[in-house]
Amino acid sequence: MFTAGLASRPKLIDDASSFHDDDDFMVIGIDFGTTYSGAAWATGEDFASDQINLVTSWPGTGLEEGKVPTELFYEHNEIMWGYEIPLDADPVRWFKLLLLKDEDLDEEMRYNEFILRGRKMLKENGKTAIDFISDFLHAIWIHVLETVKKAHGETVIDALAFHVVITVPAIWKGYARQGMEEAAKKAGILDRRAAGATTLTFAPEPEAAALSTLCEPGRKAKTGEVYMICDAGGGTVDLISYKIGGVNPMKLDEAAEGTGGLCGGIFIDETFERMCKARLGRKWDHLSKAGIKEIMKGEWEHAIKPQFMPGNRTKEYIVRIPAEAFGKSSLDDTSRQPFIKNGRIHFSSPHIQWVFTETFSGIDALVDEQLRKAAKQGLKLSGIILVGGLGASPYLYEHLKKKHAKDGIDILQSVGMRPRTAICRGAVIKGFIDGCSAVDTSGLDSMTISPIQVTSTVSRFSLGMKIGIPFDENKHLQKDKEWSIVEEKWMEYNQMQWFLKKGEITSKKDPIRFSFYEAYERDPEGFSRLQLYQCKDEVPPSRRTSSVTELCQVSRSIDVPFSAFTTVINSCGESIKKISWEVEVVPSGAAVEFAFYIDGRKQQAQNALVHFQ
């Protein structure tokens, strides 16, 4: 087989064509986070009345919480998760990131203690990253179903088809999303139900955040304004900027490529823990794992950290230390600050403020990078919208507000649980947007169904395929020289043709279309394979080099008989068959939709099988 021309970036999962054909369906959104996860759901009737239901009750805690810790603990063939895990246990954390290859993690994250510990636990438990993720998704899925049934009744739920939307980082590559799909299947999310097949799609986390925050009541965005979404979570902080392309309905265009880094809330926790350890000295070594968690999960995570605001230098923040730390020694130590009185450390406001300093510096650097990228596009930022667990911090809000006051940038933050639950709420909205063209929504207000759409995205890498061009002795390498029985000349088949370049804007309105052909000496028996490549260089090379890596292989069914292929007879009298393809590529959230055409006839999406590498 010989290939020339261009090819498409494939879509991971079938789109709206697989949705249920009536309005008896429910969208369930799952925000599967690095450190905390959340879930929400809505029926068509709920959504029409502007109601998205949140899961706020979790096993192991009597408190209302918008999210549950993304943690697992294995003991005696029993799996414990979230708040169920005992205080003295050593749970598996950050296993979401174990799905990524080392080369796709920056150096700081690659050697993070949680990543290293997670890899160690993979070996100790004889599991894969997909196993960990599926165990957690199974637990959260069963709990979500139980919660929904309590709210609507088992009979009602059994009659509804499910569309599940799981959020993923915008920078994740195809193989990671494919791993998530495998984990979701293994978790039982796609198990057959009486109401019909469950549909699964993925949504980029920043897009989900934008969907839920920019259309909140009282928020009046205008065409041309640019907003940065700052998803400040537990482990990572991810940012992306959108330009308002229109209102009523609101349309969003990516203004700058998303960025992210390891500067989430957990690093504030680590700094606070180090400060406590330094103050207690050798007494810290007397603490059990449960004792340390009592300090961290008690006064710090539930009281001081989420409410802290600097300013009152005389205010004290008191943290109780378990008695086991002191043994027979005194419970008091006023020899140096912060003072210890009756087994309690009395921190001042400057002490606590210092704990946030390093993490906020990391966030500032990411925000500044986004501002520079937007400026290169000639865009000025209108506002920064804070979401995520750390995004709910009043201190982070005031910090950014003060830093960017002179720039005229508004800092926007929801109240209550809304910053923590923005992504799972956005996942539900995304589910209705994706499904509204294929389900009967005649009873739902069109503005309610599709209040906001992401209409264009910025390409994170160049995408293309290897092609053949006539060999030029003055330009090409001898090792790339190859004779073509079709072209009847020497060709260079190591050349790259890029149909999408890094930084280019792609939109659903103006999809990318291109053509290529394949030549065969014998019948391919209705089957064809196509290799797609990627490159992160700012300017991709004209031939395949070490910076050009394999992205995925697309196996396509050909519904045209071999006899109908175009026949080419070369000068030697050899008969060659050719088939011409046209491909259309359309961005769609965490994936890209694609369509293949033969002689103007669109091929079915299920005729293509994608394997990411």
pLDDT per residue as tens digits for the range 461-475 = 888 888 888 888 888
State both tokens at 221: 């965005």
What is the C-alpha to C-alpha distance for residues 428 and 211, in angstroms, rounded to an integer? Answer: 9
| Res 22: pLDDT | 45
The count of C-alpha atoms lying within 13 angstroms of the C-alpha of 331, restricted to the half-sphere facing its C-beta, is 9
CA-based nearest residue to 70, from 120, 31, 127: 31
Residue ranges for the chain with pLDDT beneath 70: 1-23, 217-218, 415-417, 435-452, 508-509, 586-594, 604-608, 613
Contact 184, 48 (CB under 8 A): no
Residues across the chain: 613
Nearby residues of 473 by Cβ (< 8 Å), 6 or more positions away:
none
- Residue linked to tokens 């968690």: 293
Radius of gyration of the chain (CA): 27
The count of C-alpha atoms lying within 13 angstroms of the C-alpha of 361, restricted to the half-sphere facing its C-beta, is 7
- As a whole number of Å, the end-to-end CA separation of the chain is 22
Cis peptide before 249 (omega within 30 of 0): yes
What is the C-alpha to C-alpha distance for residues 167 and 153, in angstroms, rounded to an integer? Answer: 27
| Cα–Cα distances in angstroms (integers) from residue 530 to residues 467, 520, 561, 585, in the given order | 11, 14, 19, 15
| Res 138: pLDDT | 97
| Res 259: pLDDT | 81
Query: Could you tell me how far CA 503 lies from the centroid of its own chain?
Result: 19
How many other C-beta atoms lie within 10 A of the C-beta of residue 176? 21
Q: In what order do the strands lie in the sheet with 505-507?
A: 410-413, 383-387, 226-232, 237-246, 250-261, 452-458, 505-507
| Res 384: pLDDT | 93
| Res 304: pLDDT | 93
Q: Report the predicted TM-score, pTM, of the whole model to 2 decimal places.
A: 0.80
CA-based nearest residue to 201, from 222, 176, 228, 181: 181
Nearby residues of 199 by Cβ (< 8 Å), 6 or more positions away:
14, 18, 19, 20, 161, 162, 163, 164, 435
Contact 564, 546 (CB under 8 A): no
